[in-house]
Structure 1
Amino acid sequence: MQQGRSRLRMLILSGMFAAITAVLAQIEIPLPLVPISGQTLAVGLTATILGSRFGMVAMLCYIALGAVGLPVFAEAKSGVHVLLGPTGGYIFGFIIAAYITGYILERTKFNLTMALVANIVGMVITLAIGATQLKFVLGLSWPEAMAGGVYPFIVVGLIKAFLASWIGIKVRNRLIQANLLENKIQKAAV
């Protein structure tokens, strides 16, 4: 019975973080090929707080909501055409980034240093998958894809990785203290 409640609580939190991702996606700075948005900050927060499995579940929910037509992607866009378009690789990258970020934290420690390392790895994954799809969909060369889809996001990505780590660890600890999140997700004690 307790395990079922815990799982339900985590699924509810996953849904909440899918919604948070949708909200943060609407905060953006337009650039020529790919805008800078709050989506990647949300991915880092989600993985840092929920861990690998439920962080990935949250991103799958987010993508499913957008795929069926809810305006949850950047610029209030939605639909499968967004996922298959030039910026869709970044969105697909959120799934793997959330899982790997959470996995690194689960195998090490949920502290600021490891969260920053894990979030930087997640940022690199998102940028790599995003730039790859950008290259092929727009028929760009690798240098063009890197110039338009990676380089402009490195500094902002590092800032977002730090914010996701710092806020994520604080929120995670508060949720554990409030008995809204179980500490057993964490494999190594802080």
Structure 2
Amino acid sequence: MEPGEIAEISLFAALTAVGAMISIPIGPVPITLQVLFVLLSGLLLGPRLGFLSQVLYLTIGAMGFPVFSRFSGGVAVLYGPTAGYLWAFPLAALVAGLFRKRTGLALAGSLIGVGIIYLLGWFRLSLLIGEARAFEVGVLPFVPSDALKAIAAVWIAKEVRALLPEDAL
């Protein structure tokens, strides 16, 4: 792995952590900007590096650093009510990265990535509070804001790539 790739992976792990700090508590699952940075990691870094950036983010959090929402960290968070959402981040970045080359496909990949986050998050939360309630509090409230984050991620990625040389990102 090249030093530039390590820096890119680290940058997006850090950005995801910053996105977690911007949090609006609305129940067991807060609204954060994590999804925006998860999608951007895949769209800008590609599937492999985007995936690795989110694995690094989870690793840093598991080590106890307060990088998760509500300034939390530690292994316990990765088993808590929101664990499924967190575990889905590397997969969502990977999928967004696979579809990153064309704007329409990038949006589809980003929305599929959001769907993966919802599916794993809903599954984990449903083990604790039941399927219907988990869908009601862990998926439905987030659809509008996450759709906007997916659109924003595609737009930001397109604008960033336009500013960089072709061989960058």
User: Is TM (by shorter chain) over 0.5?
Assistant: yes
**1:137-185 Cα shifts (integer Å, max 9, x gaps):** x1x22111111111111111100000111001211332335x5x25xxx
Counterpart of 2:102 (choices 79, 90, 111) is 111
Counterpart of 2:141 (choices 147, 152, 170) is 152
Partner of 1:164: 153
Partner of 1:56: 51
CA distance in 1 between counterparts of 2:164 and 2:65 reads 29
The gaps in structure 1 that reach 5 residues or longer are 183-190
Counterparts in 2 of 1:1-190, with a 5 A limit?
7-105=2-100, 110-136=101-127, 138=128, 140-177=129-166, 181-182=168-169
Structure 2 residue identity aligned to 1:145 = A
The gaps in structure 2 that reach 5 residues or longer are none
**TM-score normalised by the chain length of structure 2:** 0.94
Structure 2 residue identity aligned to 1:65 = I
Is the contact between residue 119 and residue 161 of structure 1 (CA under 8 Å) also seen in structure 2?
A: yes
Q: Structure 1 runs of 4+ off > 6 angstroms? A: none
**1:95-125 Cα shifts (integer Å, max 9, x gaps):** 11111111123xxxx2322221111010000
Partner of 1:187: none
Kindly state the Cα deviation for residue 29 of structure 1 after the two structures are TM-superposed: 1.2
Is the contact between residue 62 and residue 75 of structure 2 (CA under 8 Å) also seen in structure 1?
A: yes
Is the contact between residue 63 and residue 91 of structure 1 (CA under 8 Å) also seen in structure 2?
A: yes
Give secondary structure in 2 for the equivalent of 1:25: helix
CA distance in 2 between counterparts of 1:68 and 1:101 reads 27
Structure 2 residue identity aligned to 1:104 = F
Kindly state the Cα deviation for residue 12 of structure 1 after the two structures are TM-superposed: 1.2
Percent of aligned positions that are identical: 36
Q: What RMSD, in angstroms, separates the aligned Cα atoms of the two structures?
A: 1.4
Give secondary structure in 2 for the equivalent of 1:69: coil
| Residues matched between the structures, number | 169
